[in-house]
Amino acid sequence: MGNFIRPLSDAVAYVASDDLWIESDATRQLLNTARLPGMTRVVGMPDLHPGRGYPVGAAFFSVNHFYPALVGNDIGCGMGLWQTSLQSRKVNLDKLEKRAQSYSDAAPPEWLEAALPPTLAAHPYAASLGSVGGGNHFAELQQVESVYDDEAVSALGINAKQLLLLAHSGSRGLGQQILRAHVERFSHSGLEEGSDAANDYLAQHNDALTFAVANRALIARRLLEHFREEGERLLDVNHNLVEPYVFNGQPGWLHRKGATPASCGPVVIPGSRGDYSYLVQPLNSSDALDSLAHGAGRKWMRTECKGRLSGKFSPAQLARTPLGSRVICRDRQLIYEEAPQAYKSIESVMECLTGAGLVKPLARLKPVLTLKTSGERSE
């Protein structure tokens, strides 16, 4: 593993290389989080960046207590990958983009009524199902650009001649409501495992996980119907959650805040909207709390992006990427906030993950068409 897993203290480490830039505020937040009662191990991923009080792109292990504030407001945020029937060589990008321009992020009520099973139709947040949301969420058609392990890629059900669809979203307003209710009662204090409050939170948390998985499936279904194509889900993982975990023989709680699980089989680690994504096979490592980066990671704060870029690029120019892909984003602020320039290079992140022995790359995926939506915030 070389020196890619770097200790900051006995309890804190981060995955990085000599060439990877990580903000000092992010490592400071790692160290501060490690001081929470019961916190035993904290690991930052290569996409680590500062969040609202707690770092994004990290995993945290605690005993006896767990911390809903570490999971954050988007419980169940994660990524699902679908094999689509769209033939790569037959795609007319101009026509595809034009058709995507008429796509609305909010699912029509009549569509939801027909699509949702009774259990979801009765959910208080059912109206937001099938929607991507804002912030760093997206839905993206991708082309298989390179295959490094034909057998593993084929075993997943991937046809390299057809486009893939990657959906990145979460529990929408449901997760926000759960966190707000918790903070109003307990501030940022943790919950004692086995307590009534802890059990109540976990029940709501697990509902949000189920909701988020269903949301990604409905996003894919709506998009594929809009393109008059078909698709099959290949994988789906959550990267904002808390779950039971055993570290060094000690049972406790593993929190992931923008960290992909390394215990669920192959996963996708996406780059920015103008960069590649990687399909990888995790190589489990307790040193990294069985977790991986969940993307390229921000290098600029959202508030500074427009000021840095608006003098150089118009929104129309940012709707085209250096890789030849198209971006559809109706929010003029968000297209600057989510510009490729605001993110680290995915190659720098992959160098750290492979150097640390955490992943084996299976394929490299190239963006074709990315759908962004509103400017609401998420992490």
* Cα(97)–Cα(319) distance, integer angstroms: 11
Tell me, yes or no, if 205 is annotated catalytic. no
Q: Exposure of 222 by Cβ count < 10 A (0-12 exposed, 13-18 middle, 19+ buried)? A: buried
Which is it for strands 162-169 and 138-147: parallel, antiparallel or unpaired?
Answer: antiparallel
Pairing of strands 267-269, 277-282: antiparallel
Give me the phi and psi of 29, to 5 degrees please.
-65, -35
CA distance 269 to 351: 12
Which of 49, 65, 255, 294 is an active site residue?
294
Closest CA to 125 of 134, 136, 114, 116: 116
Q: Is 257 exposed, middle or buried (0-12, 13-18, 19+ CB in 10 A)?
A: buried
Query: Which is it for strands 39-49 and 12-15: parallel, antiparallel or unpaired?
Result: parallel
- Catalytically annotated residues: 294
